[in-house]
Structure 1
Amino acid sequence: MKVLVLGSGVVGVTSAYYLAMQGHEVTVVDRQPSPAMETSYGNAGQVSFGFSSPWAAPGIPQKAVKWMFQEHAPLKIQPRMDPTMARFMMQMFNNCTAERYAVNKERMVRVAEYSRACINELRDATGIRYEDRQRGLLQLFRSDSQVEAIAKDMKVLAQCGVRHTLLNAEEIKNVEPALMRVPGKFVGGLHLPDDQTGDCHLFTNRLADYCRDRLGVEFRFNVEIQRLKRQGDRIDGVITSAGELTADAYVVCMGSFSPFLVKDLDIRLPIYPVKGYSLTVPVTDDGGAPQSTVMDETFKVAISRFDDRIRVGGTAELASYDLSLLEKRRATISMVVHDVFPEGGDVAKAEFWAGLRPMTPDSTPIIGGTKYSNLWLNTGHGTLGWTMSCGSGHLLADLMAGRRPAIDPNGLDIGRYAA
């Protein structure tokens, strides 16, 4: 089968890999000059299977009001007359119940845990390296109330068989020795030993090279994807800046821009861009830097270790498709990395970046078919695109081939929004 994958971020390239591994003739199309140049370029660097949690959680609406008046809040909203933003926020707040949180958390962990097995197999099979480390993630708590609140997540992790350990203030230093330099700052942490770190941009590019050189995948860059042509219940082609492209099947992996492509097909994708920022900081003191990934629960900022760099990612900003770099957002993530690892890196020399995370109201990606028999979706992964990319790519390839997938796909496709 000839397949067109639309988008060359980490989700598009992993989808192409698994489709090609099943023997399909795959072409990847993207407007950028190379893979992973948008959301996958400067993400937080964490591959956080056990940390897969919905942004929509009990108490978030009340917290969102408080965060509006805090300088270093994890969520910021840029007020504007945008009915799409208003609809997204309403849908998100409707998911902020204990019942919906449990359902969404299970779906996310289901995909993420499968993705853990898939990326491990992929790394062994391809031999690619991407400054990766398999040393786990440490979620840091600054208050006893945060420790108490994590109990519901630990229950879901246990049900899904995810290894985890709740650590006290002394035990966290055994996982991240540099925390000994900031005594009294944290009351404890949740350690997820099977989580990983690495450079997503490097991973995606090296996997793309493997797909092209070893699996025969064609990549067409600098090609603007304009619209889909339909004929009855099938897609007939893709109109691009390079002309019309045709295939037997089409896969939409365009992140925050996916809704625009399928809107004329009467498919409403409830995906909204949630802007995130990152700093890439050169390491100056190995002993004062993280050895893997830590997540500061208070500020929702992740700090990950590459070979000689620290990637700091955080802030969720609802600002439509605006990619401007706001210095006040830089101040927040700079403050956090300096507060947690004050001697680890030179923040003054950091690269500042922003990207658009394709978020769904329930934080779960949309993976599966549509009402068009040859149109497929793999999009809406939010902050966990890299974490879930291998699992969602493998799942999609199995579904497209009519194979029985390794995990239950129930609740993962666009059908859950049918109502």
Structure 2
Amino acid sequence: MHVCILGAGIVGLAAAYELQQAGHEVTVIDKAPHAGMGTSMGNGAQLSYSYVQPLADPSIWKQLPKLLFNEDSPLKFRLQADPHQWKWGLQFLAACNAERSAISTRELLQLAATSRQHFEAMQQRVQGDWDYSTTGKLVLYPTHAAVESARRQLDVQSTLGSAPQLIVSPDEAVALEPALAAYQPQFAGAVHTPSECAADCYQVAQQLQAWLQRNGVKFVMNTAVQNLRREGGKIVAVRTSQGDITADHYMVALAFDSVALCKPLGIDLPVYPLKGYSLTLNVAAASDKAPRVSITDSARKVVFARLGDRLRVAGMVELVGNDLRIPQDKIQSLCDSTQAVFPGCSDFAAVAPWAGLRPATPTAVPIAKQAGASNLWLNTGHGALGFTLAFGTAAQLAQQMGKVA
């Protein structure tokens, strides 16, 4: 069958790969000139297959005043006259309970395990060069109470088949990652996951697009998707800036733009953009002062991932609507965090700033299903785990679509 995928980010590309491997004809449409230029471009670079705690957590309730009113909070709500934001926010708060968090954790771990298997199979086949590393991850916690909360999360995950993880002391964390030595007094403990990985998602997207093109996948770039034309319970065409394109099946993988595209079809997607920022630093001149192990500082809501001679620094979660502006103070905040955690790792002479809108569901579990028409498939809502989960939802959908082919 012929499948038309709308969106050439890592989520759409992963689906294109899985469907191509299953023997289907695939066309990918995107408004950008080449793949991976949207939310996939400057993400945190971590592949967090084993530590997937949902943002919707019971602890959010205690943080609400800070989230709503503190301008310096790394996790911020900016209330707007937007019914979609309010509806999503209420669904998010409803998910902030122990039972729902445990269910989401189980679903995310299962999906992440599938995603890892399929990403690694793709990597072996494509043989790309995208600064892939398997140096593990440390999640730092500022207080003993936070460490104990993390311990409880690990207990939950251990019953669900998560990869081995353990709580380590600050001394043990520094032994694992010596570049943390100067920051040691600032954290009370950490979760160490030896099996976690990192890679440059944008490089994956670029090289995977090239490989897919060589292997028969058609890319229609510089082409905006305008709407989907439905007749008699089926999608008969996707209307684009270059005219109508037809296929047997259609997949929507347009991140937050999926919401507006699906609304005329009566599909109310519970997806809202979580704005985040990143910068990429050259650390070649001070390699020993930059981490090799991926680091997540839970207090600062900042992640650090080593990509060869570069360090990707990403952080903050803002619910501020469809806004891609990059205020200087946000980038300065990431620079300050980097200098605090890894002093002297870079001269900050060349900072590559970026902002992205991560499409999230209230529970953090992505939407990967048929909806709205017999031949329409949704693939969105991956939130901050898009890179981690992309090949998992791709494999799920390829299997589902294979049953109706």
TM, length-normalised to structure 1: 0.93
* CA deviation after TM superposition for structure 1 residue 13, in Å: 0.4
* CA deviation after TM superposition for structure 1 residue 371, in Å: 4.1
- Residues 329 and 64 of structure 1: CA distance in aligned 2, closer, same or farther (over 3 Å): farther
- Rounded Cα–Cα distance in structure 1 between residues aligned with 2:244 and 2:184: 61
**Residue 254 of structure 2 aligns to which amino acid in structure 1?**
M
* CA deviation after TM superposition for structure 1 residue 70, in Å: 4.1
* CA deviation after TM superposition for structure 1 residue 41, in Å: 0.5
Q: In structure 2, what is the equivalent of residue 229 of structure 1?
A: 229
Q: 1:179–1:340: 8 Å Cα contact kept in structure 2? A: yes
> What SS does structure 2 have at the residue aligned with 1:295?
strand
Q: CA-to-partner distance for each residue in 1:180-228, whole Å, 9 max, x for gaps?
A: 2333222211011111111100011111111111x20010101110000
Q: 2:183 matched to 1:182? A: yes
**Residue 345 of structure 2 aligns to which amino acid in structure 1?**
G
> What SS does structure 1 have at the residue aligned with 2:338?
helix
* CA deviation after TM superposition for structure 1 residue 396, in Å: 1.0
1:16-415 to structure 2, matched below 5 A, reads 16-70=16-70, 72-162=72-162, 163-213=164-214, 215-283=215-283, 284-402=285-403
Q: CA-to-partner distance for each residue in 1:354-377, whole Å, 9 max, x for gaps?
A: 010001111110012114111011
Q: CA-to-partner distance for each residue in 1:44-83, whole Å, 9 max, x for gaps?
A: 1111111212111002133131244545422122332111
- Rounded Cα–Cα distance in structure 2 between residues aligned with 1:194 and 1:122: 18
Identity of aligned residues (%): 36
> What SS does structure 2 have at the residue aligned with 1:347?
coil
Q: CA-to-partner distance for each residue in 1:149-185, whole Å, 9 max, x for gaps?
A: 1123202321222221111111111221111233322
**Residue 149 of structure 2 aligns to which amino acid in structure 1?**
A
* CA deviation after TM superposition for structure 1 residue 345, in Å: 1.7
> What SS does structure 2 have at the residue aligned with 1:238?
strand
Q: 1:123–1:129: 8 Å Cα contact kept in structure 2? A: no
> What SS does structure 2 have at the residue aligned with 1:184?
helix
- Rounded Cα–Cα distance in structure 1 between residues aligned with 2:201 and 2:340: 25
Q: CA-to-partner distance for each residue in 1:326-355, whole Å, 9 max, x for gaps?
A: 122223222221111112123342111101
Q: 2:151–2:167: 8 Å Cα contact kept in structure 1? A: no
* CA deviation after TM superposition for structure 1 residue 29, in Å: 0.2
* CA deviation after TM superposition for structure 1 residue 139, in Å: 0.3
Q: CA-to-partner distance for each residue in 1:285-340, whole Å, 9 max, x for gaps?
A: 11110103100011211011011111111111111111111122223222221111
**Residue 394 of structure 1 aligns to which amino acid in structure 2?**
A
Q: 1:114–1:391: 8 Å Cα contact kept in structure 2? A: yes
- Rounded Cα–Cα distance in structure 1 between residues aligned with 2:137 and 2:391: 19
Q: 2:57–2:95: 8 Å Cα contact kept in structure 1? A: yes
- Rounded Cα–Cα distance in structure 1 between residues aligned with 2:159 and 2:394: 24
- Rounded Cα–Cα distance in structure 2 between residues aligned with 1:151 and 1:185: 19
Q: In structure 2, what is the equivalent of residue 417 of structure 1?
A: none
- Rounded Cα–Cα distance in structure 2 between residues aligned with 1:254 and 1:193: 33
- Rounded Cα–Cα distance in structure 2 between residues aligned with 1:348 and 1:54: 35
- Rounded Cα–Cα distance in structure 2 between residues aligned with 1:171 and 1:71: 34
In the TM superposition, structure 1's runs of 4+ consecutive aligned residues that sit over 6 Å from their partners are: none
Which stretch of the first structure deviates more once superposed, 341-350 or 378-387? Answer: 341-350
Q: 1:72–1:299: 8 Å Cα contact kept in structure 2? A: no
Q: 1:64–1:75: 8 Å Cα contact kept in structure 2? A: no
Task: Specify every segment of 5 or more residues in structure 1 that has no aligned partner in the other structure, as ranges.
Answer: 404-419
Which stretch of the first structure deviates more once superposed, 329-338 or 307-316? Answer: 329-338
Q: 1:5–1:252: 8 Å Cα contact kept in structure 2? A: yes
* CA deviation after TM superposition for structure 1 residue 141, in Å: 1.2
Q: CA-to-partner distance for each residue in 1:77-108, whole Å, 9 max, x for gaps?
A: 23321111111111100000111111111111
- Rounded Cα–Cα distance in structure 1 between residues aligned with 2:74 and 2:149: 17
> What SS does structure 2 have at the residue aligned with 1:41?
coil
- Residues 63 and 374 of structure 1: CA distance in aligned 2, closer, same or farther (over 3 Å): same
Q: 2:265–2:372: 8 Å Cα contact kept in structure 1? A: no
TM, length-normalised to structure 2: 0.96
Q: 2:68–2:78: 8 Å Cα contact kept in structure 1? A: no
> What SS does structure 2 have at the residue aligned with 1:229?
strand
Q: 1:72–1:332: 8 Å Cα contact kept in structure 2? A: no
* CA deviation after TM superposition for structure 1 residue 394, in Å: 1.3
Q: 2:11 matched to 1:7? A: no
- Residues 370 and 292 of structure 1: CA distance in aligned 2, closer, same or farther (over 3 Å): same
Which stretch of the first structure deviates more once superposed, 168-177 or 10-19? Answer: 168-177
> What SS does structure 1 have at the residue aligned with 2:86?
helix
- Rounded Cα–Cα distance in structure 1 between residues aligned with 2:176 and 2:211: 34
- Rounded Cα–Cα distance in structure 1 between residues aligned with 2:331 and 2:118: 34
Which stretch of the first structure deviates more once superposed, 159-168 or 257-266? Answer: 159-168
- Rounded Cα–Cα distance in structure 2 between residues aligned with 1:201 and 1:189: 29
**Residue 388 of structure 1 aligns to which amino acid in structure 2?**
L
Q: In structure 2, what is the equivalent of residue 415 of structure 1?
A: none
> What SS does structure 2 have at the residue aligned with 1:400?
helix
Q: 1:225–1:241: 8 Å Cα contact kept in structure 2? A: yes
Q: 1:310–1:345: 8 Å Cα contact kept in structure 2? A: no
> What SS does structure 2 have at the residue aligned with 1:230?
strand
> What SS does structure 2 have at the residue aligned with 1:303?
strand
